[in-house]
Amino acid sequence: MNIDDSKNIMNDDSIPSINCKSFDAFIVDYIDDNLTDEERMVFIRHLTECAPCKKYLDDYQNSIALSQMALSDDEEKAQKEIPEQLVNAILAARKSVT
Amino acid sequence: MDLSRKIDIIDLPEDQLIEKLKNGDPASFEHIVRKYGSYILTITKRYLGSEADAHDAVQDTYIQAFRAINNFEGRSSLKSWLHRIAVNASLMKLRTHKRRPIDLIDDTPSLFDSNGKRIETDAEITLSIEELAIDNSQRELVKQKINTLPETAKNLLLLRDIEGYSTAEVSELLDISISSVKTGLHRARQALKKKLETQQC
């Protein structure tokens, strides 16, 4: 959403105003892009009017991104070979179920 | 397995490898154990923490895959299919440990005043994506924070934010309602955010 859109939303009295607690209940669906057009307008209106919620949402999304980055090298590390002992255990278990 | 046979299997396109697996070919089974085993171990370790439990879950994954291969329709890659079985096997292992099945965070301190207005704090996340990208110790720090979350909260974060499962899929995997997934995920993210904020570097 660009600045002009945000200004339009702020000046549009037909868009209901919500408090921070109600805003909070929308966050998961906002991130999943699961809000209806109307809910999204209400959400954005609050976001443009409330600096603490804007900061909260920025940190919330940053926290998700940090967790994704922290675990992103797992697969790279998985290029190492599987322990031979575990391979043998799996092959033996397979034989026992055939 | 003799070397020439091993090379033959490595070179097989996935659909032919799957056919061999469906025919019960032991060499093909060993090939997928060696090819994806380390990756699967990484997944099971995320959920289970303990090395021994993670190994058991890898073994369970392959045995379940062996039993179910004839039902595999190839709509996803073999690796994605094994990944999903590994997540299930890990969650099953957590259940058999008789840990609390649902321990959603329900004691989050209120973030709002009596009028529903957000209470402002000075807390800040000082870690950055750029730092994490180059600093392994910072990545380990965030992993440790994730690991200190209550079990279900951690699983919700892993399933939704890391593995990319949908809310409906997570609901099915954890056997909890869609609204519990959403509420639990929100609280888990809030809890992680708070843990990351308190780590002022």
Chain B interface includes A11 (CB < 8 A) = no
Cβ–Cβ under 8 Å, residues B57 and B44 = yes
Spell out which residues of chain A touch residue B25, defining contact as CB-CB under 8 Å. none
For chain A, which residues make up each domain, given as ranges?
A: 3-97
Residue in A19, A60, A71 nearest the CB of B116: A19
- Indicate whether B190 pLDDT > 90: yes
Over residues B16-36, the mean pLDDT reads: 94
Q: What confidence tens digit (pLDDT) does each residue in A21-54 have?
A: 999 999 999 999 999 999 999 999 999 999 999 9
8 Å CB contact of A69 and B30 = no
> What structural domains does chain B harbor?
3-96 (1.10.1740.10), 101-201 (1.10.10.10)
8 Å CB contact of A64 and B63 = no
State the Cα angle at B142 between B193 and A25, rounded to 5°: 25
- Average pLDDT score, chain B: 89
More confident residue, B136 or B2: B136
Q: What confidence tens digit (pLDDT) does each residue in B79-117 have?
A: 999 999 999 999 999 988 765 555 556 556 678 888 889
Q: Which two tokens stand for residue A12?
A: 């549009």
8 Å CB contact of B132 and A70 = yes
Task: Calculate how close chain A gets to B165, using CA atoms only, in Å.
Answer: 12
Other CB atoms within a 10 A radius of the CB of residue A69 amount to: 19
Q: Helices B51-68 and B78-96, interaxial angle, to 10°?
A: 130
Question: In this complex, how many residue pairs, one in chain A and one in chain B, have their CB atoms less than 8 Å apart?
Answer: 134
Cβ–Cβ under 8 Å, residues B104 and B184 = yes
ipTM: 0.84
Q: What confidence tens digit (pLDDT) does each residue in B45-58 have?
A: 999 988 999 999 99
